[in-house]
Amino acid sequence: MEFDSILDAINYRVRCPLCSHLLDTSIDNPIINNNLIFYLDNKPDKVLININTQITKIDSEQKYFGGQSYFYFLKECRDCTCYWFGIQIVIDIMNSICYVVKIILGTEYFLIDDENKNLHDIHNKHSINETHRYIQYKDGKKSSLQKLPLIKFNNAKDFLDKIDKISIFS
Ligand SMILES: [Zn+2]
């Protein structure tokens, strides 16, 4: 899934689909004065992307020439801590001028307990269209990793039911 703008990507989900709490961007990539901040290899050099205008600039003492850089940021639920999603942003840097090339949805993570109190650890890997799950049973055992075709989330119970159904046949 590709986004037209950073704002669309940030707003992919505003609230946690599991507990409805507002999601936060991770502390590694804060939004300061409407700029989403990514650090380059040489900290404290950083890239600032304005989330409204998408104007992108490098805040650095040194010059950067040419090449694409990949950044990944998370939006997470700090309330239930059972949900996050990741956005990958590709930027192109040319003579210290940079612009956004691509914004894509990466992985979406869910940690859901079922009615038997087993925990389902689920990664929806949008870039490869797969849902990966393993189950942590309440007795401490762990299932093997199941790789399934991507299953969309609508609500926790329905999501688990669909995954169970499909995993029988795969
Ligand atoms: Zn939550």
Ligand 1: centre distance to CA 165 (Å):
25
Q: What is the mean pLDDT of the chain?
A: 92
Tell me how far apart the alpha carbons of residues 72 and 77 are, in angstroms, rounded to a whole number.
Answer: 17
Nearest-angstrom CA–CA distance, 29 and 81? 18
End residue of a domain, out of 90, 106, 122 = 106
Look at residue 1 and tell me if it is in a domain: no
pLDDT band at 28 (very low <50, low <70, confident <90, very high): confident
pLDDT band at 60 (very low <50, low <70, confident <90, very high): confident
Say if residue 38 is in the same domain as residue 91. Answer: yes
> Tens digits of per-residue pLDDT, 102-149?
999 999 999 999 999 999 999 999 999 999 999 999 999 999 999 999
Name the domain boundary from 106, 123, 146: 106
Number of domains comprising the chain:
2
Question: Is 14 part of any domain?
Answer: yes
Q: Which two tokens stand for residue 164?
A: 């169970």
Q: Are residues 11 and 78 in the same domain?
A: yes
Same-domain check for residues 150 and 67: no
DSSP structural state of residue 154: S
The answer on 149 and 85 residing in a single domain is: no
Alpha-carbon distance of 18 to 81, in angstroms, equals: 10
Number of H helices, E strands in the chain: 2, 11
Q: Please give all residues whose CB falls under 5 A of ion ligand 1, grouped by chain where several chains appear.
A: 16, 18-19, 21, 77, 79-80
The answer to whether 148 and 129 are in contact (CB under 8 A) is no
Q: Is the peptide bond before 44 cis (omega within 30 degrees of 0)?
A: yes
In a domain, 146, yes or no: yes
- Which residue did the predictor score with more confidence, 124 or 43? 124
Q: How far is CA 163 from CA 50, 104, 155, in A?
A: 38, 24, 12
Q: Which tens digits make up the pLDDT trace of 135-146?
A: 999 999 999 999
Taking alpha carbons only, the member of 90, 111, 115, 110 closest to residue 38 is 90
The alpha carbon of 92 and the centre of ligand 1 are apart by a number of angstroms equal to 34
**15 and 99 fall within a common domain:** yes
HSE, side-chain direction, 13 A CA sphere, residue 80: 17
Domain that holds residue 29: 6-106
CA of 108 to the centre of ligand 1 (A): 13
C-alpha closest to that of 89 among 65, 114, 106: 106
Do 30 and 90 fall into the same domain? Answer: yes
Region class of 95: left (phi > 0), else alpha (psi between -120 and 50), else beta: left
14 plus 82 within the same structural domain: yes
pLDDT value of position 123: 98
Do 100 and 123 lie in a common domain? no
90 in a structural domain: yes
Q: CA 24, CA 22: separation in Å to the nearest integer?
A: 7
**Cα(111) to centroid(ligand 1), Å:** 10
Q: Per the domain annotation, does 153 fall within a domain?
A: yes
Ligand 1: centre distance to CA 112 (Å) = 10
- Asked if residue 75 and residue 130 are part of one domain, the reply reads no
Query: The whole model's pTM is what?
Result: 0.88
Same domain (yes/no): 14, 84: yes
Same domain for 102 and 132? no
Last residue of one domain, picked from the residues 62, 84, 106: 106
Task: Say whether the peptide bond before residue 30 is cis (omega within 30 degrees of 0).
Answer: no
